[in-house]
């Protein structure tokens, strides 16, 4: 490896690592600031005070949403400049972890609540990211070993087959029902009761949970290999969204099965549970973490599926231009779906107008 390559690897490590770590560490503080702004608005009486409170909350929320966005941009810069150095690969993976900060922070809150140490969740969060930062900082700036190969076709096929089964049995119907919530929570609730006869049946739900766990277990090794090899922008977006989904599935299943059902004896199949009622997403200090967590995941999952379909199409001889168009269309559709569901979760329902 040349001196220039070594210097380039070192510059990646020192240029991106502090910014990425700072974003991850400040993410809970952004959410806390947004909560504080909304609390100030609730207690404000003159109109100027209410407006000032909103202007305090809005930039804080924007900053929280900016953390995964900046991580994705950093991943692109690292991929284009690292040339396969160990420091570059670790910084690239760090960017992927920061992209998944919303579900990771929610998972931290869920795990600490289950263990009865929820008051220490920010301290634990800071320690985890500090340790991760030290691991990245110790990466030697030499080249990665030769002979790295893409994941095998069989591993990709297994992951894709499980994903297809989850889509057809659960996810298409679940997301479609969430879209109905934009019309009214009542319509969502009636549809949910019908769907639960299928995917919450005693013979189906355990298999569905197992399939979701297998998606994480088969998907993370694929993403790990691809973050070593990196690749083009489509591959990068696929691994970024894959990291996010893995963190989300772990967080979501733990919250529903352990924290809500087992410990709290809460019915998780209601609109009140899904919309964090009665407090709402900014009504108590814990809930703000759920807003980016849920707002981004619909776009993430539809985009990830579209990118997977792109890979299938290319493997079957479809022209790159057409396959790329499918992936882009899925991402745009995912953004529209995410916006609609987010509006519903925040209390916007068309039936009330």
User: Do residues 184 and 284 share a domain?
Assistant: yes
The Cα–Cα gap between 239 and 226 comes to 7
Phi, psi dihedral angles at 328 (to 5 degrees): -65, -40
Of 115, 146, 177, the residue that ends a domain is 146
Residue 306 has pLDDT above 80, yes or no: yes
User: Do residues 328 and 246 share a domain?
Assistant: yes
Model-level pTM?
0.91
Question: In this predicted structure, what is the pLDDT of residue 7?
Answer: 45
Question: In this predicted structure, what is the pLDDT of residue 339?
Answer: 96
User: For residue 245, which of 203, 281, 216, 214 has the smallest C-alpha distance?
Assistant: 216
User: Do residues 9 and 49 share a domain?
Assistant: yes
Full residue range of the structural domain in which residue 153 is found: 148-353
User: Do residues 137 and 203 share a domain?
Assistant: no
Question: In this predicted structure, what is the pLDDT of residue 56?
Answer: 72
Q: What is the pLDDT of residues 94-135, one digit of tens each?
A: 999 999 999 999 999 999 999 999 999 999 999 999 999 888
132 neighbors 97 (Cβ within 8 angstroms): yes
User: Do residues 126 and 251 share a domain?
Assistant: no
The Cα–Cα gap between 165 and 161 comes to 6
Q: What is the pLDDT of residues 206-262, one digit of tens each?
A: 999 999 999 999 999 999 988 887 678 999 999 999 999 999 999 999 999 999 999
User: Do residues 137 and 199 share a domain?
Assistant: no
Residue 10 has pLDDT above 50, yes or no: no
User: Do residues 21 and 141 share a domain?
Assistant: yes
User: Do residues 98 and 220 share a domain?
Assistant: no
Structural domain tally of the chain? 2
Residue 145 has pLDDT above 60, yes or no: no
Question: In this predicted structure, what is the pLDDT of residue 44?
Answer: 52
User: Do residues 96 and 197 share a domain?
Assistant: no
* Percent of the chain whose predicted confidence (pLDDT) is above 90: 64
User: Do residues 160 and 216 share a domain?
Assistant: yes
Question: In this predicted structure, what is the pLDDT of residue 1?
Answer: 44
């Amino acid at each position: 490896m040349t001196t220039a390559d070594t210097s380039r690897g070192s510059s990646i490590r020192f240029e991106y690592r502090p910014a990425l770590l700072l974003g991850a560490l400040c993410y809970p503080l952004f959410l806390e600031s947004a909560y504080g702004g909304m609390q100030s608005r609730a207690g404000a009486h003159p109109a100027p005070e209410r407006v000032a409170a909103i202007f305090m909350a809005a930039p804080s929320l924007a900053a929280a949403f900016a953390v995964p966005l900046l991580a994705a941009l950093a991943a692109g810069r690292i991929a284009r400049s690292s040339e396969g150095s160990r420091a570059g690969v670790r910084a690239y993976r760090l960017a992927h972890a920061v992209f998944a900060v919303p579900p990771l922070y929610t998972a931290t809150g869920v795990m600490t609540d289950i263990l009865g140490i929820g008051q220490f969740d920010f301290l634990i969060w800071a320690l985890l990211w500090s340790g991760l930062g030290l691991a990245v900082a110790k990466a030697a700036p030499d080249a990665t070993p030769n002979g790295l190969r893409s994941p095998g076709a069989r591993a990709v096929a297994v992951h894709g087959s499980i994903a297809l089964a989850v889509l057809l049995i659960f996810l298409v119907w679940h997301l479609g029902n969430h879209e109905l919530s934009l019309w009214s929570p009542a319509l969502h609730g009636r549809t949910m009761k019908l769907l639960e006869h299928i995917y919450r049946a005693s013979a189906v739900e355990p298999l569905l949970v197992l399939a979701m766990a297998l998606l994480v277990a088969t998907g993370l090794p694929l993403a790990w290999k691809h973050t070593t090899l990196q690749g083009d922008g489509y591959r990068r977006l696929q691994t970024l969204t894959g990291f996010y989904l893995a963190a989300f599935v772990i967080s979501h299943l733990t919250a529903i099965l352990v924290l809500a059902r087992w410990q709290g004896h809460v019915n998780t199949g209601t609109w009140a549970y899904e919309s964090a009622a009665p407090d709402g997403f900014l009504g108590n200090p814990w809930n703000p973490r759920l807003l980016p967590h849920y707002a981004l995941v619909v776009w993430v999952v539809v985009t990830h599926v579209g990118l997977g379909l792109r890979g299938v199409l290319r493997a079957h001889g479809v022209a790159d231009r057409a396959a790329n168009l499918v992936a882009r269309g899925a991402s745009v559709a995912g953004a529209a779906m995410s916006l609609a569901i987010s509006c519903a979760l925040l209390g916007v329902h068309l039936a009330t107008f």
